[in-house]
A and B are shown apart, each in its own frame.
Chain A
Amino acid sequence: MIRTLVHLALAVPPFVLGLAWQRQALGVDPQKTLILESGIWTFNLLLLVLVLPPAARWAGWPQLLRYRRAIGLWVFAYATAHFTFFLSFYLGWDVARLAEEIAERPYVLLGFAAWLVLMLLATTSTRRAIRWLGRNWKRLHTGVYFVLAFASVHYLLMIRSEWAWPVSYAVIALMLLLLRLRRVMRPQS
């Protein structure tokens, strides 16, 4: 029941965007809007996934952690949409140009690297993969913090003059990273 609600809520942004796209309500340059929105929503959900553990710990509320995998898979879906839009609208599915973009532009490199890590995490999130990887599963999935770091810098590199949004996201990301680091550093008694 709650699980269905979670999935429904996470399907709202693509639904709204898809509907608006179909109704030609995404402005003069829908391609740019779609790339921007899919990127922002990837980041939103990424922050949500990572804010849940400290929140659950703080409030003594373990139920919050139940839907992490579901949200995590949505992060990957959003990121894939973002990457697909970039590939088709900006590069016209030209793989040679993708290689060139990755080599020349750090923000493309970071975005691509983040997507690769997300793909690895998504493919190892089945029950079977969890059992197979055992202890290493947790170690591997700590890689989501690399995704967070890549995404932050990726967004910071977008700044041309207005810095409010990218910097806000980066500050939140940094706080989450520090929380995590503090927890890792402190010896567990």
Chain B
Amino acid sequence: MNGIKTEVEAARLRLCGRSADLQATVCCHSVFGPKALRANSNRVKTINQLIFLATNGLFGRFQCFRGGSGLQFTPNPGSLGIIEYRFEEKLMTRVTDQSSFRRRRFIAGALGLGAFSAFSALRYGDSVSVANETDQDLTAKNDGDILLFEDTGARLTTKHAATHYNNAYEFGWDKTDPYQKSGAFELKPWQVTFDGLCAKPGTFDLDDLMGMPFSHLEERVYDFRCVEAWSMAIPYNGRSLRDILQVVEPLGSARYVAFTSVLRPEQMPGQASAFSTLDWPYVEALTIEEAMHPLTFATFGVYGDQTLPQNGMPFRVTVPWKYGFKSPKFVVRMTFTETRPKATWHLENPREYGWYSNVYPDISHPRWSQSTERRIWSEGEIERIPSRPYNGYANEVAHLYPGDRQQYR
């Protein structure tokens, strides 16, 4: 390394010493390759002063000669890198031609712009402080360790966590999209249509479906288990779905119920997205036995709150023993059918999202191991816990699935 530096230094001195009409050709293999270099040297025909600087970086060989005879030095192969050459300022315009100068500016601009846009994507802190302001009243009552059952130590996920970390692809793919982009969503009026194989099809207002004041509805704490292997403990307000379904009297031939979610691309940016492959509106479905199971919950609120579109309000169906995507949000239609209805995620990728999608810790998902889950208790407080068959509701629902479990994945 040092030897080379000296040689370059010598070259510099000799070139400087003869400043008039000096011809120089620079050959430098492995930095630009001979071809690019030749193009450069063609450009550099007449030079008053040429300064060589050797800097480390790449290795290779280089030669420098004046005319055909003068300076020539060949460093040891594999020892050094770039030759950088500079020109005196008055020659700059002549030597670095206009187009290559513009190109440099373009590159510099592109790099700067890229760095700027990438760095500005790293905005952490500000969005959260805004959220804290608006949600102060919401978080206050559920923050901290609220023990549900003193004996088991079971507790609730904080409302802040459960309302700021959601999957609702209607609003976007990111976990924060549902609360950030649901501002324009209109919760009222809301009607649900019942059709297909039932004796009394019709359309009902939300109040009719509740059948009682909101405050009189049952509150149930369910473990919510996402297919992405995270989970929460959430209090839902509602009533058993079967109480509602019985009113419209499903026929004996009805074997399935399909739930259709609302289609409002103007209020739901995810539905309007050109980059989503999902087929809108969202459709999920259950067998009639599953839909009639007392655990299947017609849900009108979470944490006693009816105004949370990110959680699927004003009306969703909650099925606690299945992965979360089987619990459809913003439901506007229930259709009784004899044949198995399509289901959005199952349609998207049947290998990854089974039609039943019961929680089976021993059946591995192509994307996420399902044997454990990350229980989210509050913002930043996450505990890894083992997953349970049917998400812990095996005693209540296992009888619905006789035979090989693989067919109910």
**B-binding residues in A (CB < 8 A):** 9, 12-13, 16-17, 19-20, 23-32, 37, 44, 48, 55-66, 68-69, 89-90, 92, 97, 100-101, 104-105, 107, 127, 130-131, 134-135, 137-138, 160-164, 188-189
Contacts A130-B78, A131-B78, A161-B276 known; A137 to B380 CB distance under 8 Å? Answer: no
Residue contact A65 to B82, C-beta cutoff 8 Å: yes
Which one of B122-130, B147-155, B243-251, B328-336 contacts A? B122-130
B165 touches A (CB below 8 Å): yes
Which of B30, B56, B107, B119 has the largest number of chain A CB atoms within 10 A? B107
B348 touches A (CB below 8 Å): yes
Q: What is the number of residues of chain B that contact chain A, defined by CB distance less than 8 Å?
A: 62
- 16 residue pairs of the A-B complex, CB under 8 angstroms, read A17-B124, A20-B124, A25-B124, A27-B176, A28-B165, A28-B380, A29-B382, A59-B103, A60-B103, A61-B107, A65-B58, A89-B382, A97-B369, A131-B59, A161-B276, A162-B172
Contacts A27-B379, A137-B59, A161-B173 known; A131 to B366 CB distance under 8 Å? Answer: no
Residue contact A57 to B124, C-beta cutoff 8 Å: no
**A-binding residues in B (CB < 8 A):** 30-36, 40, 55-59, 77-79, 82, 84, 96, 100, 103-104, 106-107, 110-111, 114-115, 118-119, 122, 124-125, 128-129, 160-161, 164-165, 169, 172-173, 175-176, 230, 273, 275-278, 348-349, 364, 366-367, 369, 374, 376, 379-380, 382, 384
**Beta-carbon nearest neighbor of B86 in chain A:** A63
**Beta-carbon nearest neighbor of A63 in chain B:** B84
- Tell me which residues across on chain A come within 8 A of B384, comparing CB atoms: 92
Residue contact A25 to B128, C-beta cutoff 8 Å: yes
Contact of A29 among B34, B119, B165, B169 (CB under 8 A): B165
Residue contact A60 to B230, C-beta cutoff 8 Å: no
**Beta-carbon nearest neighbor of A23 in chain B:** B125
- Tell me which residues across on chain A come within 8 A of B30, comparing CB atoms: 138
- Tell me which residues across on chain A come within 8 A of B369, comparing CB atoms: 97, 100-101, 104
- Tell me which residues across on chain B come within 8 A of A92, comparing CB atoms: 384
Contacts A24-B379, A62-B84 known; A44 to B118 CB distance under 8 Å? Answer: yes
- Tell me which residues across on chain B come within 8 A of A19, comparing CB atoms: 124-125
Residue contact B374 to A31, C-beta cutoff 8 Å: yes
Which of A62, A130, A162 has the largest number of chain B CB atoms within 10 A? A62
- Tell me which residues across on chain B come within 8 A of A163, comparing CB atoms: 275, 277
Residue contact A29 to B78, C-beta cutoff 8 Å: no
- Tell me which residues across on chain A come within 8 A of B34, comparing CB atoms: 188-189
**Beta-carbon nearest neighbor of A24 in chain B:** B380
In angstroms, Cα B384 to Cα A16, docked, is 27
- Tell me which residues across on chain B come within 8 A of A61, comparing CB atoms: 100, 103-104, 107
Contacts A27-B164, A105-B366 known; A62 to B276 CB distance under 8 Å? Answer: no
In angstroms, Cα B33 to Cα A61, docked, is 14
Residue contact B107 to A134, C-beta cutoff 8 Å: no
**Beta-carbon nearest neighbor of A106 in chain B:** B366
The distance from the CB of A96 to the nearest CB of chain B, in whole angstroms, is: 12
- Tell me which residues across on chain B come within 8 A of A59, comparing CB atoms: 100, 103-104, 106-107
In angstroms, Cα B297 to Cα A78, docked, is 45
- Tell me which residues across on chain A come within 8 A of B58, comparing CB atoms: 65
Residue contact B124 to A161, C-beta cutoff 8 Å: no
The distance from the CB of A173 to the nearest CB of chain B, in whole angstroms, is: 15
- Tell me which residues across on chain B come within 8 A of A37, comparing CB atoms: 122
Residue contact B107 to A58, C-beta cutoff 8 Å: yes
- Tell me which residues across on chain B come within 8 A of A56, comparing CB atoms: 32
Residue contact B380 to A26, C-beta cutoff 8 Å: yes
Contacts A60-B100, A134-B77 known; A28 to B161 CB distance under 8 Å? Answer: yes
- Tell me which residues across on chain B come within 8 A of A16, comparing CB atoms: 119, 122, 124
The distance from the CB of B386 to the nearest CB of chain A, in whole angstroms, is: 12
**Beta-carbon nearest neighbor of A160 in chain B:** B173
Contact of B175 among A32, A127, A189 (CB under 8 A): A32
- Tell me which residues across on chain B come within 8 A of A48, comparing CB atoms: 111, 114
Residue contact B78 to A55, C-beta cutoff 8 Å: no
- Tell me which residues across on chain B come within 8 A of A127, comparing CB atoms: 56
- Tell me which residues across on chain A come within 8 A of B57, comparing CB atoms: 65-66, 68-69
Residue contact A13 to B275, C-beta cutoff 8 Å: no
- Tell me which residues across on chain B come within 8 A of A30, comparing CB atoms: 380
In angstroms, Cα B61 to Cα A134, docked, is 12
Contacts A13-B119, A60-B100, A65-B57 known; A134 to B78 CB distance under 8 Å? Answer: yes
Contact of A131 among B79, B367, B380 (CB under 8 A): B79
